[in-house]
Amino acid sequence: MARMHSRKRGNAGSSKPVKKVPTWAPYKGKEVEKLVLKYAKAGESTSEIGMTLRDTYGINNVKALTDKTITKILNENNITKELPEDLLNLIRKLIAVRTHYEKNKHDKTSLRGMQLATSKIRRLTKYYRRSKRLPADWKLNMNRLKMYLE
């Protein structure tokens, strides 16, 4: 399948190893869930929690130990944020590119980057509305973008 915003094709990427709990795993499922909740209450995002668990505690795969993803653990304990993390990251990128473009009106590359970012946001919100993670009437307000990051 072709790439999203270019005509290049290629391998989809590497595949994750088989999901089995390693014998050397230092933590059990409930302990991992407690660690996830601890870092979520400290304000870390799901990807930051995963990196912290990998780097500090040697937990390479939360799902292999708990049979749940980090997002699912947070959903069960009602600690999720209003917007999904990948959507927030795209909104941050759009804000950065938009502020650059407003200062540099002749920079057509940044205009193209702004168009690509809005396209990805639109595609992602369509998916999240379908899967009920966003309300059906949710729309991105381009005039008040920074409101979403608060």
Rounded to whole angstroms, the Cα distance separating 110 from 104 reads 9
Domain 85-149 has CATH 1.10.287.10: yes
DSSP label at 9?
Answer: B
Token readout for 62 is 């939360």
Token readout for 35 is 């660690």
Classify residue 66 by burial, with Cβ atoms within 10 Å: 0-12, 13-18, 19+: buried
Asked whether residue 7 carries a pLDDT value surpassing 80, the answer given is: no
Q: Are 29 and 66 in contact (CB under 8 A)?
A: yes
Sorted by where each begins, the domain ranges of the chain are 29-76, 85-149
Of 72, 83, 51, 76, which Cα lies nearest the Cα of 147? Answer: 83
> Rounded to a whole number, what is the distance in angstroms from the first to the last CA of the chain?
37
Mean per-residue pLDDT over the chain, rounded: 88
Predicted TM-score (pTM) of the model is: 0.78
Q: Are 35 and 53 in contact (CB under 8 A)?
A: yes
Asked whether residue 143 carries a pLDDT value surpassing 90, the answer given is: no
150 pLDDT band (50/70/90 cuts)? low
The tens digit of pLDDT for each residue in 64-116 reads 889 899 999 999 999 888 889 999 999 999 999 999 999 999 999 999 999 99
The tens digit of pLDDT for each residue in 42-74 reads 989 999 999 999 999 988 889 988 989 999 999
Average pLDDT score over residue span 18-46: 87
